[in-house]
Amino acid sequence: MTTKMQFKSDPFPHQLEEWERHKDDIARGIFWSQGTGKSWLAINTAAWLWEKQEIDAVLIVAPNGVQQNWLTDEIPAHLPDGIPWEGHCYQSKRAKTKWHKKACDSLLKFSGLPVLAMSYEALVTPEGKKFARKFLEKRQVLYVADESHRAKSPSAQRARAVVASGKLAKYRRALTGTPMANSPFDYWMQVKFLDPEFWAKHDFCSLEAFKTYFGHWEERINGQTGQRFKHVVYYKNLDRLADIIKHISSRVTKEEVLDLPPRTFEKRYVELSAEQARLYKELRDEFCTFLLEGEEMVSANLVITRLLRLQQIVCGHLPLDDGETVYEIKDVPRLEILEDTVKNDCDGQVIIWSRFRKDIDRICDMLGKEAVRCDGKTELEERKRSMHALQAGDARFFVSNPAVGGTGFTLTAAKTMVYYSNSYDFVLRDQSLDRNYRISQDQPVHVIDLVAQGTVDVKLIDSIQKKQKMAATINRDEIISEWV
């Protein structure tokens, strides 16, 4: 089939094939790896449906900070010329102002193709939910849930809001490279957004039935309350889940469809200073004592907090009991190895990921004016300036928390990426890894993990790898990347 539409940006073969075959589908999950062109597909699907007079509006819900990127970067780059469009980025903090209300009303009445971009956080506010509903009821809408894994939890208000509002849309698209963030159950709500009746059509009339079929459960007792609860021991029937999912979604990986340069991985082992080793041993021994004293002494919050504290010691700081003061360890070999690595072994620009803000402070202080930062301390516009500074060559180091800079940014100017620290979050790792390994990257990429042997660092990486392999089984990825 030959398309009659004139594209503004030339598609890759996999984009054109998916567009040709499924541009008229009511619902479709685009579960493609980061950097393979999901935005192009969504925008040109909107263009096609608008030209056919099937839709007259687009709603994009995305992570906070990413929604604006659709209006400033993606749509101008890919929407075919000749389609009149107007965009508005919904701002929760200004929702009650006269200016914002006027902008929303203007968008609703726009005679061309209005594009409403909202964050998931905005969608669950009373004003945001009300206007999204009004937009969906008044217009014929293509609803794009970007990074749809953000709406995966059945109990979360965010996921319920996405599924409920999705029922009002004429067409729906879910976009994410990581549809399975933690378990196979992550698919339930994302697919319900696409088609509320999909699971029932495949003999799963409830979430409980779905979980029972794809998970093996055991009954356990809470040592503190004595209450019985079910715990998933392992997952099963994953091949069938893969077969079911493919009826409503598409999956491609970079290795399959892009001619990208090689990407290599390296671990650099760091030693703990004497003070770090002492603090680590003290906290670890205290934790082990709790465990040995019986389950009644242990809670999930305690486990999470202690693991977090152990990692913070490894990185070079420790929050004190008052909850406000942070003790900074003076001698931190990890920081010294980072400086030596990026200044002596890395050519050109470098991305540095760190889980903790305190570490980002210290790293930026160490690197000085050559570094820009992107984390919870920086406003949205400053984050974008940091990205553009790296891409333009005005900054050598981009220092960020994966939770903030790991989505929505293109950082292909950097050929080296260093993980100063990791977390257990598979999605954050997966998405942040691909900020510089995507379309337009033409140089080999090198990823370095700083790892303290015999500490929680090793367990973190092991946990992430296990989740990645399980996701690859369901997604039928032919190539499983050996990250680290």
Question: How would you label 42-60 residue by residue, b for 16+ Cβ within 10 Å and e otherwise?
Answer: bbbbbbbbbeeebbbbbbb
- What are the strands of the beta sheet with 141-146, ordered from one edge? 85-89, 113-119, 57-62, 141-146, 171-175, 27-30, 249-250
Q: Taking Cα atoms as reference points, which of 275, 279, 419, 280 lies closest to residue 356?
A: 419
Q: What are the CA-CA distances from residue 47 to residues 24, 68, 80, 138, 169 (Å)?
A: 11, 19, 7, 19, 16
The single residue listed with the structure tokens 């015999």 is 454
Question: CA 329, CA 314: separation in Å to the nearest integer?
Answer: 10
Record: fold of 13-252: Rossmann fold (3.40.50)
Distance of CA 279 to the CA centre of its chain: 33
The alpha helices in 237-299, defined as continuous H runs, are 238-245, 254-257, 274-292
Cβ contact 334:475 at 8 Å: no
Q: How many CB atoms lie within 10 A of CB 144?
A: 27
Task: Identify any residues that bridge with 374 across adjacent strands, giving them in sequence order.
Answer: 400
Q: What are the angstrom distances between the C-alpha of 78 and each of 13, 49, 247? A: 16, 15, 27
In 3D space, the residue among 50, 32, 39 whose CA is nearest the CA of residue 11 turns out to be 39
- CATH 3.40.50.300 positions along the chain are 263-271+331-475
The confidence score (pLDDT) of residue 287 equals 78
* Residues facing 414 on adjacent strands: 349
Looking at the DSSP bridge assignments, the partners of residue 27 are: 172
CA 244 to chain CA centroid, Å, is 24
pLDDT at 474: 75
Q: How high is the pLDDT of residue 286?
A: 83
H/E/C letters for each residue in 395-461? CCEEEECHHHHCCCCCCCCEEEEEECCCCCCHHHHHHHHCCCCCCCCCCCEEEEEEECCCCHHHHHH
Give the per-residue pLDDT at 3: 55
Task: Kindly write down the DSSP assignment for every residue of 336-404, as one continuous string.
Answer: HHHHHHHHHS--SEEEEE-S-HHHHHHHHHHHGGGEEEESTTS-HHHHHHHHHHHHHTS-SEEEE-HHH
Alpha-carbon distance of 123 to 471, in angstroms, equals 28
pLDDT of residue 102: 96
Report how far residue 156's alpha carbon sits from residue 243's, in angstroms, rounded to the nearest whole number: 27
Identify the DSSP state of 218. E
The per-residue pLDDT string of the chain (484 residues; one tens digit each, 9 = 90 and over) reads 445 789 999 999 999 999 999 999 999 999 998 888 999 999 999 999 999 999 999 999 998 878 888 998 899 999 999 999 999 999 998 999 999 999 999 999 999 999 999 999 999 999 999 999 999 999 999 999 999 999 999 999 999 999 999 999 999 999 998 898 789 999 999 999 999 999 999 999 999 999 999 999 998 887 667 788 888 899 999 999 999 999 999 998 888 888 888 888 888 888 899 999 999 999 888 877 766 665 544 566 667 788 889 999 999 999 887 667 889 999 999 999 999 899 888 889 999 999 999 999 999 999 999 999 999 888 888 998 999 999 999 999 999 999 999 888 899 999 999 999 988 888 888 889 989 998 888 899 999 999 898 899 888 888 887 777 777 777 766 544 444 4
For residue 346, what are the contacts with CB-CB under 8 A and spacing of at least 6?
A: 416, 418, 446
Cβ atoms of residues 433 and 468 within 8 Å:
no
Q: What's the pLDDT at 13?
A: 93
Q: Where in the chain is the domain with CATH 3.40.50.10810?
A: 13-252
CATH superfamily of 263-271+331-475: P-loop containing nucleotide triphosphate hydrolases (3.40.50.300)
